[in-house]
Structure 1
Amino acid sequence: MTPHRNAGKPRYAVLADELRDGIRAGKWVPGDLLPSEAQLCLKFGVSRGTVVKAIDVLLAEGLLQRRQGVGTFVSRPALHRSPGYLLGFSETVRRQGRVPSHRLVGQRQLDRSEALQYGCDEPALLLERIRLVDGFPWAIHTALIPMRIAAAVPALAGPDSRVADSDFSLYRTFDEAGLEIDHADETINVRLATEDEAGQLGTELPSAVMLVYRKSFDRRGNLIELIEAVYLQDCYTYDARLVRSNPLSVLYHEGEPTDPRKSS
């Protein structure tokens, strides 16, 4: 610890500074397990109470995340998404000043019966990818593109396919091919990660994951893309602004004039 900048500071604040500096310098990277409280006590020559207070400071700052029964990990800064804005993964990441990439882990054609298992009622190209942010695993994306589209877009299928390129973007590819996505239906859920998912995302079990299921369509309602995405829970934040005076609301209070059961 550096005495010249720590004069008058409580020991826990000094330790918090040291740990914070280590994280920012890359000594511990997002997803890393922090040394145990006992190890930190020995390394820095402080009491357990000091270590606990220092960790609490970094937990409050969002730099660390505690997982019950596993330990304390360096947090991965979450991607923020807002309803009403239809953006692809790469677009979302770049807008937040970070670098998106991916690792292709599977690619194959599905017949209609196989595609139906994902909710697509026509033959499709399946792409399985690990999505990365600043080089770190963030999500597992399974995308289905109808073969009527994939077969007509050289970047998706055939000898000129670019899907294995680390900077490949489906939405950019659609734009370049003149395919305009107009709207999408999206469902978000939460569950525990499977052992395979934890391995691909570089996390320990048990870990919570966010499930995002999205179908994107053109103006005529034709399916352009279907995606099933598994995000580490601490990597995904969904921001929403809710308006109480929503004119489309069907909510009412029991017995009030707006109760449809009271109207005739």
Structure 2
Amino acid sequence: MPHDTPSYMRVADDLRRRITSSGEWVAGDRLPSRAQLAAEYEVGPNVVQKAVERLIIEGLLEGRAGSGTYVRQPRERMRMVRSRHRERRGGSPFRADMRERGRRGSWESHSQARTPAPEHIAHRLAIEPGDLCVRTRYEFLADGQPVQLSDSWEPMSITGETPIVLPEMGPYAGMGVVERMRTIGVIVDTTVEIPRPSRATQEQANLLGVSLGDLVMEIERTYYDIEGRPIETADITVPDVRWEIAYEIGIQQPEA
């Protein structure tokens, strides 16, 4: 884990390991008090509080008023957490997400270089319609089972003539947009996601193993560099029957 990872994320990672891997606590078990965990990890109670809140967001723990924090019974639907911390773990955020849930993340992809940008993609990337892009279609898998689809576009004006022009080929294949762009000096600063409920098309249903017309969540995601320039945009499709999406939003604390 990167050295700049917040303390509460490191505590959350270890608590998650103790629940999902070592079996120290199982569904229905009550965790030690915040004070006990703070002493064990040699951190402040606020750090433990944030770590526990993170695992509650993920659906791994639940708080019971006046009683404490318990390991939650497994859900039929898993929770996919969209967070600014997804990009701080290095490598592929998807693979890291699945690893935290005890699953093996993988994907299949197909890239097409020199693809003219349609009008709606050009608008999102602040380029002209017809400007050349690399379009990559992904099928993301957890333990070999479909999890989500993604249709990604990157302007060749940024990546052309570089080792990362094809996202899943070359020395930096599989690293994720943020890490790949960093290798050519493009620093991603912000991501904007717009979720919209939709119904599965026949193609989506076939790829995701759901039925035509089933509810899916469509996420329009765009990455921006430190100058506010869009550097990649994608349409992500998640089957609602298997996954629910949660957004972790940090609250800026006033300066003392």
The TM tier, using the shorter chain, reads 0.5 to 0.7
- Residue 238 in 1 paired to residue 246 in 2? yes
Counterpart of 1:132 in structure 2 is 141
Q: CA deviation at 1:189?
A: 1.0
For 2:195, the equivalent position in structure 1 comes to 188
Judged with a 3 Å threshold, the aligned counterparts in structure 2 of structure 1 residues 95 and 118 are, in CA distance, closer, same or farther, namely: farther
Report the counterpart of residue 110 of structure 1 in structure 2. 115
1:184 shift after superposition: 1.5
Aligned residues with identical type, % of pairs: 20
Question: Counterparts in 2 of 1:160-175, with a 5 A limit?
Answer: 161-162=169-170, 167=174, 169-175=176-182
Report if aligned partners of 1:103, 1:131 keep a CA contact under 8 Å in 2. yes
- Mapping of residues 4-23 of structure 1, within 5 Å: none
Residue range with higher mean Cα deviation, 121-130 or 102-111: 102-111
Change (3 A) 1:120 1:93: same
Q: Which ranges in structure 1 are unaligned for 5 or more consecutive residues?
A: 1-59, 64-74, 248-264
In the other structure, the counterpart of 1:154 is 163
- RMSD of aligned Cα (Å): 3.4
Cα deviation, residue 135, structure 1: 1.9
Q: Offset at 1:202?
A: 1.4
Q: In 1, distance between residues paired with 2:108 and 2:123? A: 21
Q: For residue 80 of structure 1, what is the amino acid of its counterpart?
A: V
Contact kept? 1:101, 1:168, Cα under 8 Å:
no
Which has the greater radius of gyration? Answer: 1
8 Å CA contact 1:98–1:134 kept in 2: the answer is yes
- The equivalent residue for 1:221 is 228
| Pair 1:105–1:224, CA change in 2 (3 A) | same
Q: 1:155 to 1:230 in 2, by over 3 A?
A: same
Alignment: residue pair count: 171
Question: Normalising by structure 2, what TM-score?
Answer: 0.55
**Pairwise CA distance, 1:212:** 0.6
* CA distance in 2 between partners of 1:163 and 1:208 (Å): 38
Instruction: Give, in whole Å, the separation in 2 of the partners of 1:95 and 1:153.
Output: 32
Paired with 2:126 and 2:223, the residues of 1 have a C-alpha distance of 14
How far is 1:173 from its partner? 2.0
Partner Cα separation in structure 1 for residue 104 and residue 80 of structure 2: 12
When you count strand as a share of all residues, which structure comes out higher? 2
The structure-2 alpha-carbon separation of the partners of 1:175 and 1:110, relative to structure 1 and needing over 3 Å to count, comes to same
| 1:99 counterpart residue number | 104
Aligned to 2:79: 78
Question: Could you tell me how far apart the structure 2 residues matched to 1:62 and 1:86 are?
Answer: 22
Give the secondary-structure state (helix, strand or coil) at the position aligned to 2:205.
helix
SS, match of residue 198 in structure 2 = strand
The offset of 1:94, in angstroms, is 3.7
**How big is the shift at 1:115?**
6.5
Report if aligned partners of 1:187, 1:213 keep a CA contact under 8 Å in 2.
yes
* Cα-to-partner distance string for 1:224-249 (whole Å, 9 max, x where unaligned): 21111011113242144698xx99xx
Q: CA deviation at 1:185?
A: 1.5
Distance in 2 separating the partners of 1:134 and 1:146: 32
Contact 1:79 1:93 in 2 (8 A): no
How far apart are residue 163 of structure 1 and its match? Answer: 9.9
Aligned to 2:47: none
Q: Given that residues 115 and 121 in structure 1 are in contact (C-alpha distance below 8 angstroms), is that contact kept between their aligned partners in structure 2?
A: no
Question: What CA deviation, in whole Å up to 9, does each residue of 1:164-204 have, x standing for no partner?
Answer: 96x45333322333322101221011111111100011122
